[in-house]
Structure 1
Amino acid sequence: MIKRNLLVMGLAVLLSACGFQLRGTGTNELAIKELDLSARNAYGPTVTQLRQVLEGSGVKVYTGAPYKLILTNEQESQRILSYAGAGRAGEYQVTTVLNYDIRGRGDLPLLSDKLEVQKIYMHDGNNLVGSDQEAATAREEGRREMVQRMMLRLEQLSPAQLDQLQQTAEAKAKADAAALEAAQKAEAETPRQSPIELPQQ
């Protein structure tokens, strides 16, 4: 028994040393330790799950954090993949697309991107209740996968990348402000023509 336990422990150490991780048990730390999380649907299931996973990963989620993750738009569509006739089973595909923005200090936009998840389920015309449950399960699995993908995206952001994105955003904001000021100055210095008076007949 002791030998078996030692063998299991040895294999676990060996696999972890090779970088192996069980699916869904990633322990990669996020460079972003504080995050302001918001969504159009502030109490929707996606943002709620994401908040729980972030907090479970040691991220402090609160309003006013240095970095802000905004779930700008979440859309779901459904299409028939195969149709076997009335009252018979067919395959349906549910596609969810999530657009998001990450903003940095000064509420400057750092990056915008989107995630897309597709799930397939069976629809049986003779078992509508079961088909509804299949659809609900597919949507729930898609949501979990969406949250996992978002976490992977956040894990890929290193402190150096975040600093570079922040510097680029600040430089762009400064250039835009200078261009606006120059345009306003040029407009102010341009002499305005008085309306032409036509001679009275």
Structure 2
Amino acid sequence: MIKRNLLVMGLAVLLSACGFQLRGTGTSELAIKELDLSARNAYGETVTQLRQVLQSSGVKVYTGAPYKLVLTDEQESQRILSYAGAGRTGEYQVTTVLNYDIRGAHDLPLMSDKLEVQKIFLHDGNNLVGSDQEASTAKVETRRELVQRMMLRLSQLTPTQLEQMQQTADAKAKAEAQALEAAQKAEAETPRQSPIEIPQQ
């Protein structure tokens, strides 16, 4: 495992030295230059890493930006893929699902989507410490990949697309407001019938 990690790190160093950049790592510039960022867990690892990657990519992250990325929910689960009995090696899978919204002016939702990342790690019943490290590494890698995929999603959005989404959201909000106003007006103009009085015998 250590040899494999060293090999991967070595290849990454060599590729970066040659000018190669992984897609979605935040090294490429985004069309979005200003972005508000928030999450249910405001101090969580995912939102913290994402903020750092955005800023290193030249994006100004601040409250009140024209567009807002909201990490609405992050769920992590783990399940056994194969189990060979006590004291033996089995495969586990960790899955993280990240739901998010992109909102525009007046906090109107422009789009909602989710990202899902899965990693498989080995659990050795004879080496619990090593297995715990494997699990921790899998979770770290999962979060890193989530951030990379989010950056890739953001890199595919252009200001023109966001403006069109905003116009659609504005039109929908206006139509809903007009429908509500019309319903309230109709209700106000509808004569209310007084209770029928039954004559006493």
Fold similarity call, TM over 0.5: yes
- Give me the whole-angstrom Cα distance separating, in 1, the residues matched to 2:39 and 2:129: 31
Q: Supply the distance in 2 between the matched residues of 1:105 and 1:167 (Cα, whole angstroms).
A: 10
Moved more, 155-164 or 190-199: 190-199
Shift of 1:153: 0.3
Partner of 1:115: 115
Q: For residue 148 of structure 1, give the secondary structure of its aligned residue in structure 2.
A: helix
Aligned counterparts, 1:98-177, within 5 A: 98-177=98-177
Structure 2 residue aligned with 1:61: 61
Q: CA deviation at 1:140?
A: 0.2
Q: Give the secondary structure class of the aligned counterpart of 1:192.
A: coil
CA-CA distance at 1:27 after TM superposition: 4.1
Which ranges in structure 2 are unaligned for 5 or more consecutive residues? 1-14
Q: What is the CA-CA distance between 1:23 and the residue it aligns to?
A: 2.0
Q: Secondary structure at the match of 2:37?
A: strand
**Matches of 1:124 and 1:200, distance apart in 2:** 88
Query: Larger relative CO (CA 8 A, sep 6+): 1 or 2?
Result: 2
Partner of 1:179: 179
Question: Are 1:85 and 2:94 an aligned pair?
Answer: no
**What's the offset of the Cα at 1:28?**
3.0
What's the offset of the Cα at 1:126? 1.2
Q: Show structure 1 runs of 4+ deviating over 6 A.
A: none
Q: Name the SS of the counterpart of 1:154 in structure 2.
A: helix
Q: Aligned residue for 1:195? A: 195
CA distance in 2, matches of 1:27, 1:75: 27
Per the TM alignment, residue 107 of structure 1 is displaced from its structure 2 partner at its CA by: 1.1
Q: Which residue of 2 aligns with 1:41?
A: 41
**Contact between 2:26 and 2:54, CA under 8 Å: does it hold in 1?**
no
The runs of 5 or more residues in structure 1 that have no matched partner are 1-11
Structure 2 CA distance, aligned partners of 1:51 and 1:26?
11
The residue type equivalent to 2:199 in the other structure is: P
2:91 is aligned with 1:73: no
Q: Residue 40 of structure 2 contacts residue 73 of structure 2 at CA under 8 Å; is this kept in 1?
A: yes
TM-score by length of 2: 0.87
SS at 1:167's partner residue? helix
In 1, distance between residues paired with 2:116 and 2:192? 53
In 2, Cα distance between the equivalents of 1:200 and 1:131?
86
* 2-structure distance, mates of 1:189, 1:22: 65
- The total of aligned residue pairs comes to 184
* Displacement after TM superposition at 1:198 (Å): 2.1
Q: Contact between 2:26 and 2:151, CA under 8 Å: does it hold in 1?
A: no
Partner of 1:5: none
With structure 1 as the length reference, what TM-score do the two structures score? Answer: 0.87
